[in-house]
Structure 1
Amino acid sequence: MNSATLMALAASCAVMATPLAALADYPEQDIRVVVPWGAGGGTDAIVRKLTLLAEAEMGGTMYVENIDGGISATGVNQVMRAEPDGHTIVALTYDSVVTIPWQEMLPGYDMDKLKLIARVTSEPDSVVINSGSKYQTLDALIAAAKDSPDTIRIAIQNIGGRVHLALLQLEQLSGTKFKTVSYPGGAGPQKEAILSGEAEGAVTSLGDFANLLEDDTVIGLAEFSSTANPTYPDVPLATDLGVDLQIGSFIVMAAPAGTPDDVVAKIEAAYQAAYDSAEFQEWVANVGVTPDWLGSADVTAWAEETQTELFGQMDALVEAGVLSK
């Protein structure tokens, strides 16, 4: 074998070895975990807890950055345009996967620009009310809304978002009309609205209001689920109260499309170890959130099925004149 052939072979081996060397060095820098909502909400707390536990598995520093705006579109769009090297990932929620694509809110926003890594939670929505309210049951709240339409102030997050859809469906199913008040930015502003007396109650997940439920500032009137919440078993299911409604959020970790499969696998393994840890499972059981793991092999198909089902529901509400697109 002559020297030219040897040099060519050596160069070829070096090229083939590069991805393995890159993976061996990963992570080469801090890993940025984008939460596309303001600090203080349920999504922020869950992702911070999981990321803190995952960091030990990754062998490098991971930090959470809150990028609020556009009902999560601002932060998610940044990750869609980030380098696909595993050093930027994002926590997607219902609005990231459903509301923004359905409303076509942002040009260039395309779920195909992301690689879904894993779903980590599922959270049914609920109706919570100030504990000092005279409406101590869902039946009482609905009856009052029927007697005085458009007067009882219920806090949602973003107009057209998930909890707005939940409230619209509750109104449609119960024949009521609430005074809908929007507080963009996640559950934090909803809490402030109830604490200040600006709103009588709110539609959100029980986990988002865990601290206010624990100190009896608010009570849960109903949860839109088919299974009782293990943390709050005394909160009735809407279906048991004659309102056949099931809706809620979730958290899905994702990376920019094109992120190498081996890097995605390492991120997934780190988060799964964090998810499976006794520390996380004990912690999550105390905040009213349902851990619900679905790995990279299945999460994309699940997300597509979820989109199809919910797009159909929202299109039907548009046709009925209940929702605008």
Structure 2
Amino acid sequence: MHKRFLTLLAAGAMGAFTSSAALADYPEKDIRVIVPWGAGGGTDGIVRKLTSIAEKNLGTSMYVENIEGGISATGISQVMSARPDGYTIGALTYDSVVTVPWQGLLPSYDMEKLKLIARVTSEPDAIIVDSDTPYDTFEDLLAAVKENPDSVKVGIQNIGSRLHLAILQLQDETDTKFKIIAYPGGAAPQKEAILNDEVDVVATSLGDFAPLLESGDVRGILEFSETTNPTFNTVPTAKEAGLDLRIGSFIVLAAPAGTPDEAINAIEQAYKEALESDEFQTWVASVGVTPDWLGTDEVTQWADETSQTLFDQMDMLVEQGIIKK
């Protein structure tokens, strides 16, 4: 029995040595990068650009694969179930971290099955107004809403969405009451609504409305962020307005739980260098998204705290009958 134990111990040590030796040459093959949204979208474009630079830093080919469905759950579930060998990673967004776990529609979907690598960008939500309105500033808008509660129409996307939460939290913090109108289907219906004068105000990201901002049809009067948007740098931040509200989407890179630290560290460093490169910084300055790095040591705590805060807020709205789970 003693001899058998020593044999097994030696075999285990040899296996660990072999694994470490193999990882010393990491990466040795192509790396699959899953984007859980359609090709050509904002997340897809950002991940593809970053990855095209990161693969040069890693010295291997990285191919992006779009796997749509389940408000990102279909693609991220494939990351969760992939072999934890450093050759499959995925891009998580707000819905991957907040909406899908909160709804609990997929018992197999568990954030514990992932190792978060880094947050690479933030895309804060914003308040955008029709250029024909008298609201030159966020303060002008607040004054009008306080004077006539429930009279200023604001277009969001889905009831219960992140943008719905943003307006509800804004109302609480500023003691105001907007008339909230939902336009399911993303930013496109919101654009039609504001151009057709159905609403004077919308809540969405500046990047989503970039063409209308550039044409002068609308103007941004507040972004729920800490830092100034690199593209639309004349739009005031929530911090500058003295507001506590910070909300928006983001992109977080993740691998299957159990992926060796050597692989995680290599991927993290490759993407960090890609994010900081002149090539990416120049490119991202034109798309209305803010590079916003949080590395492996910080991103998990940030994601846990962010999701729990939003879970609590949504649970409260369910209790109040405002949204349904």
TM-score, normalised to structure 1, is 0.81
**Distance in 2 separating the partners of 1:122 and 1:267:** 19
**Could you say which residue in structure 1 is the equivalent of 2:155?**
154
1:265-318 Cα distance to aligned partner (Å, 9 max, x none): 111111011012122223223333222211112211221122222222223333
Q: Are 1:263 and 2:260 an aligned pair?
A: no
**Does the 8 Å contact 1:120/1:275 carry over to 2?**
yes
**Could you say which residue in structure 1 is the equivalent of 2:114?**
114
1:91-130 Cα distance to aligned partner (Å, 9 max, x none): 1112211222122132211100100001112232112245
**Could you say which residue in structure 2 is the equivalent of 1:294?**
294
Identify if the C-alpha distance between structure 1 residues 22 and 183 changes in structure 2 by more than 3 Å, giving closer, same or farther.
same
What SS does structure 2 have at the residue aligned with 1:37? Answer: coil
**Does the 8 Å contact 1:155/1:183 carry over to 2?**
no
What SS does structure 1 have at the residue aligned with 2:296? Answer: coil
**Does the 8 Å contact 2:153/2:178 carry over to 1?**
no
Counterpart code for 1:181: Y
**Could you say which residue in structure 2 is the equivalent of 1:71?**
71
- The percentage of counterpart residues that share the same residue type is 57
**Could you say which residue in structure 1 is the equivalent of 2:310?**
310
CA drift at 1:218: 3.4
Q: Which moved more, 1:65-74 or 1:256-265?
A: 65-74
**Could you say which residue in structure 2 is the equivalent of 1:102?**
102
What SS does structure 2 have at the residue aligned with 1:75? Answer: helix
1:20-60 Cα distance to aligned partner (Å, 9 max, x none): 34324533433221222233433222212111110101222
For structure 1, the 5+ residue unaligned runs are 1-6
**Distance in 2 separating the partners of 1:108 and 1:214:** 43
Identify if the C-alpha distance between structure 1 residues 11 and 180 changes in structure 2 by more than 3 Å, giving closer, same or farther.
closer
**Could you say which residue in structure 2 is the equivalent of 1:246?**
246
For structure 2, the 5+ residue unaligned runs are 1-6
**Does the 8 Å contact 1:102/1:311 carry over to 2?**
yes
Q: Which moved more, 1:222-231 or 1:84-93?
A: 222-231
**Could you say which residue in structure 2 is the equivalent of 1:181?**
183
TM-score, normalised to structure 2, is 0.81
CA drift at 1:14: 5.6
Identify if the C-alpha distance between structure 1 residues 29 and 220 changes in structure 2 by more than 3 Å, giving closer, same or farther.
same
**Distance in 1 separating the partners of 2:189 and 2:55:** 31
**Could you say which residue in structure 2 is the equivalent of 1:205?**
205
Identify if the C-alpha distance between structure 1 residues 61 and 242 changes in structure 2 by more than 3 Å, giving closer, same or farther.
closer
Counterparts of residues 71-90 of structure 1 (less than 5 Å): 71-90=71-90
Aligned length: 315
Identify if the C-alpha distance between structure 1 residues 318 and 10 changes in structure 2 by more than 3 Å, giving closer, same or farther.
closer
Identify if the C-alpha distance between structure 1 residues 260 and 150 changes in structure 2 by more than 3 Å, giving closer, same or farther.
farther
CA drift at 1:146: 8.9
Counterpart code for 2:38: G
**Could you say which residue in structure 1 is the equivalent of 2:20?**
20
**Distance in 2 separating the partners of 1:243 and 1:52:** 37
Identify if the C-alpha distance between structure 1 residues 67 and 223 changes in structure 2 by more than 3 Å, giving closer, same or farther.
same
**Does the 8 Å contact 1:126/1:204 carry over to 2?**
yes
**Does the 8 Å contact 1:150/1:178 carry over to 2?**
no
Q: Which moved more, 1:207-216 or 1:12-21?
A: 12-21
**Distance in 2 separating the partners of 1:116 and 1:277:** 22
**Could you say which residue in structure 1 is the equivalent of 2:62?**
62
